[in-house]
Structure 1
Amino acid sequence: MSLTGTPFFLTSITLLIVAVVLPLALWGRIAGPPLVRGLARLLMLLFAQVTAITVVFVLVNNANNLYDTWGDLLGTDSHVAAAKDLGPDGMGGQQIKNEPKQIQRFRPADDPRVGPGVQRTDLKGRISGVIGEVYVWLPPQYNDPAYRNKKFPVVELLPGYPGSAKTWFGSLHAAEQLQPLMQRGLVKPAILVAPRTDLLAGADTGCVNVPGQVNADSWLTVDVRKMVIDNFRAGDKPDSWALAGYSAGAHCAAKLALSHPDRYRAGVAMSGYNDPALERDSLAGKDPKLRIESNPMHILKSANAAGKPPRTALYVSGAAGDGYQAGIGLRGLAKPPTTVTVQLIPANAGGHTMVVWRHQVPEIFRWLGMYLRA
């Protein structure tokens, strides 16, 4: 049973009702020695406490899509089949153009809270060795006969940590907000792709490749990207692709966009950070070498020093002390053709929460429309 599904929510509510009714109905009717009666009453109280805590957890989890499955919560699911050393380009000496197409079967998302039109597939990454679900939403123009020969740009959506791949659809209501705007021509139509990013138990991968542990970078920038191109009318050039994330996902969006200008044109980072060590469970943050190499500021400095500033557009938003300074730092390093737009979020806007990021969805997609081309 999914942790974010309606059945689990209804089950927890039912158990809470039972936990409240039981003591009222049986408290004075329990027979037996005093020790037995006391133990029975204690168990009823503990049952009531546990069910109350469970309901609170379910409400918070449903609102923020932190844990999607029991395996995510307990750390029992493995999403890494292999983690070979893939080298600096994350390809392991292979050429993506030589890889056969990976045609997938899609089914409607099993959670009604993500809204209509969201599809899901379970992908086995051929390059990365990662196994995980990927959610896809197609813009309203996709099935319009007038667009039957048209390709569409793609935006990969990354959640925070911990975070479900469904968060952008379930908590941020991205598809629900964008569909009418795309229909009215106020936002450029784009395919939305939300892949799993929680790949290791109790660890934020930081979207890096760590031989022997996980190839999260290659999962997101190679396997997921190729799968979408193979299965949909998606553009295959860098100008057709962007990343958007919040919190830990914001760090990933900026890092991956700057690291792979040959794959992405733009990145959106909401309430993120540059130093991966700011996320205590980050694999990159715990490794001195990776901590430096995966910092977007280091990536940009290195590219500038090599005389190759990336053709990357970044949009960084955040409140003071929560992403804004990270954006200012990147903007100070940007040299053409790199551009960095920084948006200050008022301190009273709502903090580091879904409400703040949800309100930014239309704005960031209008901004993305200036850079994405099919």
Structure 2
Amino acid sequence: MGLTSKAVLALAIGLAVVLFAATVCLWPRLARRSVSAVFGRVGLLLATQVMVFASVGLLANNSFQFYGSWADFLGRQQELGVVTDGATGASASQNIVRVGMERPDVPGESRTTAVGRIDKVVVAGRLSGIESSAYVYLPPEYFQSEYSRRTFPAVVVLTGYPGTAENLLKGLQYPRTALDRVRSGRAQPMILVMLRPTVAPPRDTECVNIKGGPQTETFFAEDLPDALSDAYRIGKRARNWGIIGNSTGGYCALKIGLHHPDRFSASAGLSAYYRAAEDPTTGDLFHGSRRARERADLLWSLDHLPQPDSSFLVTTSRRGEGNYWGTRHFMAKVRAPAQVSSIVLDSGGHNFNTWRREIPSVLEWMSSRLSED
């Protein structure tokens, strides 16, 4: 049974209830002052508390998808297989390997031509030297004969730190939401490339190129779109590519879009911040370089670098988010030819529930700004 399965959660809750009931029933018999009675009381209390905490932890994980599997929870690296099959999805490419496939979570449907497909791939960065796993959602139109010669726009979707890519599938439901938007006529079919910004775990690189360290910005801005365009029917121009992220992923999305308008024409930051974090999880990102630190400050970049011919979308809430004033400042600094849009909720915290309220509109906005090649 998987870590996020309902059966595991139900089992944990059931055991917690049984142990609580056993404690209440057996407590009078264990009230004696013998050694065995003392150990019995301690054992029942400890077991009950462990199962209560386990139930709460599993419930929180199912809601926020901190960990997607037991291996992820235990910190184990999963061995990657090698599959080279490009007939109906990824084409042969030295920079991308498909290691698995799954069906989008759409009740009552199973046909690829009706719901699409999710490929799990490993991307090898030609310039950065970074390898990272990702999920690629291919919309149903990708497999329909009338679209067989069409290229599709693509959107890179990033989690926060230290989130997992599974968060984007299960917690935030990007593929299912994208399918709903297309079915309702509110968005065009788009390929989604879903992964986490933590490509050098456990370090949070803030999507910057670190001197003598991971070249994360190069991976996202150059390697990733090149590899995906070679493997799937995706255009190579900026108008074919967008990038979305939440929290740390939101900062990364805006940063990559701002600094690489030749690769991404639209970028959206959900609950983003606007200056690279510097803390124990990041280590020394800039090695004393004032220029590198300033460039990683998006507000500084808007003031001192040429404004790109790109579109930006930022989200916040008046109550519950800490980025409200930073978002206002970012919007105030965007000037032509750049364009900026926003989603401002009356209230909403820094969590999955807030982002799920924003994602449908974000995908519609992104769809309106991208085009096929």
TM category (shorter chain) comes to 0.7 to 0.9
* Contact map agreement 1:158 1:244 (CA 8 A) in 2: yes
Q: Could you report, residue by residue, the CA deviation over 1:296-345 in whole angstroms, capped at 9, with x for unpaired residues?
A: 222333322xxxx2222101111245333333322332232211223322
Q: 1:35–1:202: structure 2 CA closer, same or farther, 3 Å change rule?
A: farther
In structure 2, the partner of 1:107 is 100
Distance 1:110 1:55 in 2: 29
Q: Could you report, residue by residue, the CA deviation over 1:61-112 in whole angstroms, capped at 9, with x for unpaired residues?
A: 1111122345654556599xxxxxxxxxxxxxxxxxxx96435225234996
In structure 1, the partner of 2:169 is 169
Q: Could you report, residue by residue, the CA deviation over 1:178-199 in whole angstroms, capped at 9, with x for unpaired residues?
A: 2132134321211111013334
* Contact map agreement 1:316 1:324 (CA 8 A) in 2: no
Distance 1:285 1:366 in 2: 35
Shift of 1:45: 1.5
Which shifted more, 14-23 or 47-56?
A: 14-23
TM-score, normalised on structure 2? 0.80
Q: 1:222–1:54: structure 2 CA closer, same or farther, 3 Å change rule?
A: farther
In structure 2, the partner of 1:83 is none
| One-letter amino acid of the structure 1 residue matched with residue 125 of structure 2 | R
In structure 1, the partner of 2:134 is 134
Q: Secondary structure at the match of 1:208?
A: coil
Residue 301 of structure 2 is aligned to residue 299 of structure 1: yes
In structure 2, the partner of 1:88 is none
Distance 1:166 1:278 in 2: 26
Which shifted more, 1-10 or 194-203?
A: 1-10
Q: 1:34–1:227: structure 2 CA closer, same or farther, 3 Å change rule?
A: farther
Q: Which runs of 5+ in 1 are unaligned?
A: 80-98
In structure 1, the partner of 2:365 is 367
% same residue: 26
Following superposition of structure 1 onto structure 2, how do residues 242-261 of structure 1 map, counting pairs within 5 Å?
Answer: 242-261=242-261
Q: 1:286–1:6: structure 2 CA closer, same or farther, 3 Å change rule?
A: farther
Q: 1:268–1:370: structure 2 CA closer, same or farther, 3 Å change rule?
A: same
Q: Which runs of 5+ in 2 are unaligned?
A: 80-91, 110-114
Q: Secondary structure at the match of 1:141?
A: helix
Distance 2:317 2:204 in 1: 23
Shift of 1:213: 4.1
In structure 2, the partner of 1:240 is 240
* Contact map agreement 1:261 1:311 (CA 8 A) in 2: yes
Q: 1:192–1:102: structure 2 CA closer, same or farther, 3 Å change rule?
A: same
In structure 1, the partner of 2:55 is 55
RMSD value over aligned CA atoms? 3.4
In structure 1, the partner of 2:83 is none
Following superposition of structure 1 onto structure 2, how do residues 143-162 of structure 1 map, counting pairs within 5 Å?
Answer: 143-162=143-162
In structure 2, the partner of 1:316 is 314
Q: 1:136–1:78: structure 2 CA closer, same or farther, 3 Å change rule?
A: closer
Shift of 1:210: 2.2
Q: 1:37–1:285: structure 2 CA closer, same or farther, 3 Å change rule?
A: farther
| One-letter amino acid of the structure 2 residue matched with residue 295 of structure 1 | D
Distance 2:198 2:334 in 1: 31
Shift of 1:173: 2.1
In structure 2, the partner of 1:95 is none
| One-letter amino acid of the structure 1 residue matched with residue 224 of structure 2 | V
Q: Could you report, residue by residue, the CA deviation over 1:136-162 in whole angstroms, capped at 9, with x for unpaired residues?
A: 112232222111111000111111222
Q: 1:111–1:22: structure 2 CA closer, same or farther, 3 Å change rule?
A: farther
Shift of 1:113: 9.2
Q: Secondary structure at the match of 2:353?
A: helix
Question: What is the aligned residue count?
Answer: 349
Shift of 1:203: 3.8
Distance 1:176 1:311 in 2: 31
